[in-house]
Amino acid sequence: MTLKKAYILIFSILIIDQVSKIYVKTHFLLQEKIHVTGWFKLFFIENSGMAWGTEIPGDYGKLVLTLFRIIAVFGIGWWLYDSARRKASNYLIVAIALIWAGAFGNIIDSVFYGVFFSESTTTDLAVFMPDQPYGSVFHGKVVDMLYFPFIEDYVLPEWLPIWGGKEFTFFNAIFNFADMAISTGIGILLVFNKKSFAPPAGEGN
């Protein structure tokens, strides 16, 4: 895959990711849930930290996380450029492009959403470019909305130790298209590891 095609893939993912986030941010109340079809639901939450809401404690935790993401994106970008230049495997280039697009998509939220939007609450919709934004540069929250609970609110049998009688949800992660791109890229590297890291044609002869 050429670098040009990789950029087209990245740009397409970023468009889908940001359009979906902006739509949900401005049309859904915080924690609003809509059943789409089957196991698929839209459930609007905001993530101020890492996966599953993990946060770095302290006043500068969010800033450190955002700066780390930016540095990582530069590193991944160089990896993509170098891989394309060396004519590495298409598996590798596609995987890196997906990871880069996903990481950059979430960085946009972290860096800019705090100054582009008002606060989302359970009673008020967010407004784009308000007089009083909810945060500042580098202190935005990542928008998540994709929810696939295969089993939701199932009450476990009373006879089970510790968890008996409690509600159980299988696959309760809520994520976005950027997260999907990152997970798919990592999945390609894991499943097609040998093909991804095979020497470029002409090397090793």
| Residue 144 annotated among the catalytic residues of the structure | yes
C-alpha to C-alpha distance for 186 and 95, rounded to whole angstroms = 7
* DSSP string for 28-90: S-TT-EEEEETTEEEEEEEESSSGGG----STTHHHHHHHHHHHHHHHHHHHHHHHHHTT--H
SS3 label, residue 199: coil
Counting beta carbons within 10 angstroms of the beta carbon of residue 148, is it exposed (0 to 12), middle (13 to 18) or buried (19 or more)? middle
Question: Crossing angle of helices 177-191/90-108, nearest 10°?
Answer: 150
Six-digit token string for 171: 């696959």
Q: Residue 74: what residue type?
A: F
Look up 59 and say whether it is catalytic: no
Q: Are 83 and 196 in contact (CB under 8 A)?
A: no
Question: Which one from 59, 109, 131, 144 is the annotated catalytic residue?
Answer: 144
What are the beta bridge partners of residue 154? 168
Residues with catalytic roles: 144, 179
